[in-house]
Structure 1
């Protein structure tokens, strides 16, 4: 059997790679077999104080670095990510579990964000506003907001940090990044690319630790001027409260429970087969995944047949195996949650069309599961599953479908399949979601904004909108 080496883990503070030493550590587990890959050091309060002091002093250097030089460094970092993509993807699959092909794609898309914002760094502009008073010049300048505290989860350990780092660094901000402790090596590999590309020491710090302690100390510090978070709704609320105490802006990308409206005139093959692939990619641990499939009554049976068949045909296994399409869940918590959600739905009358149980093998594997006839009282009709479970439901009219799609407080992603142009316009206008795919499931691109509405968060990452959250407007009136 082929063996793969896992990188040593460290903190990255003030340009130094700091090993665990006497610090507390947390195990990093391969979710495909339960083996411990390494131990990630947990930052102490003193470590965080050093990171804050360094971010403050480095900001003064970086914000004065000319845009062309910031752009050059970010482009070089992207080049290094591409050159190291196979190694970084291997680290990601070992610690997170997703198939290696998905990991490769994620690393390359992370590099695209650095390339995109390398160019955005050169396009930060302002404006001259004509004055109503003679002899007065009025300028509006956009400048870096200040040091940023960025928090990212374990499910996309390359692209989620990349969205935040690329935009913040392009704007001229220094950043303290706290990635998920369950997939630390990927984020450290990105940091090494930036370090090797010549990012000035101290502009980026990477810390791990007890999440509540780290977020409380960083956000409370007057050094931090901006907060960015991707994760669950409850934690997003908590961090919002902490940011509000210091009157600090926060960008939130939170959970979803993506509805898919499939109309009678839709391409059923594309909606069903593509829907199964979309739902179970990343083992369903994707915030923009399609989860609730709302199928118009006339094509319900056809859709169910194709969707269930496509789901049952998926190859489950270790992400390091080339044939694998669905890897393990990331941790035992996710496994227990899937079991509880399915048991609750079945107890209340739901039908399991395929899957429904954990797989008896080492690792955190759960069968891709399709539920039908799920009552509204079931937990899964209200909670984001964040795992390999899909719910199939009937609807009759456009109004019925939109009402169910918009029923929940989540509003991150939504999808619709129809060949009717009028219906496409109506669902595009009527769906409450920050990102909508019509007749397709792939809705993410570097040049487009990524973000949600309602309890799925606010603010967008990516696109021309992404850099604005890391800039502040300054008005100068000179007589």
Structure 2
């Protein structure tokens, strides 16, 4: 087995268990594919049943050490990790582009955002407060204590290989928990870099474990283990429901950040050109593979022509290509599944009468590239109005009244992000209040902030990451009622 000092940036991904780093040449493995070239970047080792059990055991040991570590010392480790992520940002960004496909500039921005996230939670670790409650019983003091919940099992998707696992790792460690994380086997490199930065910053063995392999085997084993006290997932609603059922057998609480299908309401009194410029950037960031990506556009009939003209002009300027190349604004889809999904959705929409205004085709025969696509007059019968595209496709409908717009936005049972563009304070307040979503952007597409809660409602999940809520999710509040004894 290899140890931390043997690992260098760009090396193959490893299982991280205790003080051991287990490479692909020591286990069965799965290939990691560059989505721009379809070439194999490296191999991800597959955890055995014994590896999973050892990860649980070392996580319990790590928790016993870490829960007794002073908050100020947890803070120093997290801040040290943030500093190392910044120092290594260029190397990490390149790894991210190789394994996930996004342009290098986006990869570097995500890496630096992850560093900011760790710094935020380094401060929150120092502010893990309890409280004193005024008692109605004379002589009895009520003290509410904040304690770490215990070892955590976390599962993350492939679209943001740094910041999504970083949210879970940083919050759990700040709260005093140990954590076992299973990232996607398709994007394993960046989480190993997070682990390396934490270990170099002084994180004790056993506090963080990284597993890859058979998702069902890992999730079933971890969620059945009584030692694991919480589950956290970023993924699809389908997978979230599976994990929630498994967690229910042992009454594990969870944080579930699941699928969305974000509505955009562009009202007639809005700045149509300004809205189009913002939305074009937000829609095609990461090739549309963003859980809060604007995807269902509802534009007031009075301005739909001017909005669409401006929007198409922005879309036409998007340069698609290998994310490592200069000037590229959008990379490939991250895997072949997503490419085929987009091909099917666009074909279905056109069959149902949608007008193809831009794109609509795969680019080339190598790599998972797809044109930035815009569909107009998309009927409700098209699948894309019900199924999250998670790709570079915009679906536009019109509306006439505010009631109509709100009804269209709320017609699905998911509710993660949503967006409103208007110059009317009355419209902003009313619509933001009536949208069934965990987050609402009003004249902005920036709704993910480390300082604020991030999460959805209905079948987009429950629980929150980020902000003070992100730390609370990994704590239990214990009441100590004490009477003085003479």
Q: Runs in 1 of length 4+ with deviation above 6 angstroms?
A: none
* Structure 2 partner of 1:370: 374
Contact kept, 8 Å, 2:130 with 2:146, in 1: the verdict is yes
* Structure 2 partner of 1:269: 273
* Structure 1 partner of 2:285: 281
Please list every run of 5 or more consecutive structure 1 residues that lacks an aligned counterpart in the other structure: none
Matching residue within 169, 174, 179 for 2:178: 174
* Structure 1 partner of 2:244: 240
> Is 1:328 matched with 2:332?
yes
SS in structure 2 of the partner of residue 128 of structure 1: strand
* Structure 1 partner of 2:455: 451
> Is 1:56 matched with 2:88?
no
* Structure 2 partner of 1:110: 114
Give the whole-Å Cα distance in 2 for the aligned partners of 1:430 and 1:190.
39
Give the whole-Å Cα distance in 1 for the aligned partners of 2:405 and 2:140.
57
Kindly report which structure 2 residues correspond to 1:181-196, keeping only aligned pairs within 5 A, or say none.
181-196=185-200
* Structure 1 partner of 2:221: 217
Please list every run of 5 or more consecutive structure 2 residues that lacks an aligned counterpart in the other structure: 1-8
Q: Cα 1:6–1:122, aligned 2, differ >3 Å: closer, same or farther?
A: closer
Give the whole-Å Cα distance in 1 for the aligned partners of 2:144 and 2:108.
42
* Structure 1 partner of 2:315: 311
* Structure 1 partner of 2:125: 121
Give the whole-Å Cα distance in 2 for the aligned partners of 1:424 and 1:406.
16
Matching residue within 232, 238, 242 for 1:228: 232
Report Cα offsets for 1:91-132 as digits up to 9, x if no partner: 000100000110111011111111111111111111223334
> Is 1:42 matched with 2:23?
no
* Structure 1 partner of 2:435: 431
Give the whole-Å Cα distance in 1 for the aligned partners of 2:341 and 2:154.
27
Q: TM-score, normalised by structure 1?
A: 0.98
Aligned residues: 475
| Superposed CA RMSD | 1.1
Contact kept, 8 Å, 2:10 with 2:91, in 1: the verdict is no
Contact kept, 8 Å, 2:273 with 2:306, in 1: the verdict is no
SS in structure 2 of the partner of residue 465 of structure 1: helix
Contact kept, 8 Å, 2:377 with 2:398, in 1: the verdict is no
> Is 1:24 matched with 2:28?
yes
Give the whole-Å Cα distance in 2 for the aligned partners of 1:410 and 1:138.
40
SS in structure 2 of the partner of residue 394 of structure 1: strand
Offset of residue 365 of structure 1: 0.3
SS in structure 1 of the partner of residue 30 of structure 2: strand
Q: Cα 1:130–1:278, aligned 2, differ >3 Å: closer, same or farther?
A: closer
Offset of residue 413 of structure 1: 0.4
Give the whole-Å Cα distance in 1 for the aligned partners of 2:412 and 2:51.
41
Give the whole-Å Cα distance in 1 for the aligned partners of 2:13 and 2:119.
27
Give the whole-Å Cα distance in 2 for the aligned partners of 1:138 and 1:260.
47
Give the whole-Å Cα distance in 1 for the aligned partners of 2:454 and 2:261.
16
